[in-house]
Copies of this chain bind each other. A is one copy, B any other.
């Protein structure tokens, strides 16, 4: 097992009817005036916005609102909102929405203290200072609610890059899984695939770390099982809550303890892909790319890939397990090839270069630009 540090100061409040606690949690920490950051308006329809507003009012918290964060959230929007935060002089940021909203809220919180927000991404240093961050999560996928990371896209350069640091852990995050019961099936699947991908990025480089490998396998099996249940019955609260909690656990530190910092080459590939094709959802891209990465990299840690095949998919070979993984995605209605997504074969070079420019080349196996291209080729139209 590798040495590790586990330090996650976020307070997570999880369960039915918990959104009403947000105002009091903010007030108790001495904050009085927040910038609320939100997406396209679904929180107006599912009652989340009203619950948040009631809670803020009851606790005597002032707030301004910034709406319009999109999936694959962009730098220009972050800059716009950081300017609002500075002008208003808020003392905290509150993201109400999915991972894109939370990541934007984190970038705004860090951007509050600098002139050049993107400079924080370019420097690739831990972010040390940010406004206090609060969140109310409405779509479980990115794990942002309980970690110190955020991913933002710089549109003009098609760079989809991460920042991280101790100041980016939310103070308090509220996860009420019941508000996710009305999500479109496709978004549920994307969240499940995102969660699976996070666990796998951490898991595959691992060895000699029985607790974490076994935890990761049990999380992967659970995500598959409860997603199947949600396909039958989207309102199954226990399944919805399990998927939400698995999604948080995937990136709150537990799933990576003692196995290193993860591989993340598949994420680089996906960021390269959705940088070029911003209409492609993160989870959709990951579901297509991960099987291809597994087949390409399995020789680098055969024992762990073999136990993944056996313990997650009940298969004797990695090839059979990848087939089962792809069959499950297809069963869920997720695309399983880049071709299916409308990506042209001629774009692969540009996507590979875009992915490679992120600097995230993998830890299990350091991939070259040519390796990136080959993986994308094998994902374009797998047999």
The total of chain A residues at the interface (CB under 8 A) is 44
Considering the chains assembled together, what is the distance between the CA atoms of A208 and B240 in angstroms? 11
Residues A237-252 near B (CB distance < 8 A): 237-239, 241-242, 245-246, 249
Q: Are B238 and A257 in contact (CB under 8 A)?
A: no
With A11-B7, A14-B6, A254-B254 given, is the CB distance from A211 to B242 under 8 Å? yes
**Across-interface contacts of A177 in B (CB, < 8 A):** 1
Please indicate which of the listed interface residues A211, A218, A221 has the most CB atoms of chain B within 10 Å of its own CB: A211
Q: Are B12 and A5 in contact (CB under 8 A)?
A: yes
With A14-B3, A14-B4, A15-B4 given, is the CB distance from A221 to B211 under 8 Å? no
Q: Closest approach, in angstroms, between the C-beta of A232 and any C-beta of chain B? A: 15
Residue of B nearest to A252 (CB): B6
Considering the chains assembled together, what is the distance between the CA atoms of A9 and B11 in angstroms? 8
A positions within 8 Å CB-CB of B: 1-16, 18, 146, 177, 208-212, 214-215, 217-219, 221-222, 225-226, 237-239, 241-242, 245-246, 249, 254, 257-258
Task: Please give the count of copies of this chain that the complex contains.
Answer: 2
Considering the chains assembled together, what is the distance between the CA atoms of A185 and B219 in angstroms? 32
Nearest 3 A-B pairs (CB), nearest first?
A: A3-B15, A7-B11, A208-B238
Q: Are B7 and A12 in contact (CB under 8 A)?
A: yes
- 17 A-B pairs besides A4-B14, A4-B15, A210-B242 with CB distance below 8 A are A1-B177, A1-B241, A3-B14, A3-B15, A3-B18, A6-B12, A6-B146, A7-B11, A8-B8, A14-B258, A209-B241, A211-B218, A211-B249, A214-B219, A218-B218, A245-B258, A254-B254
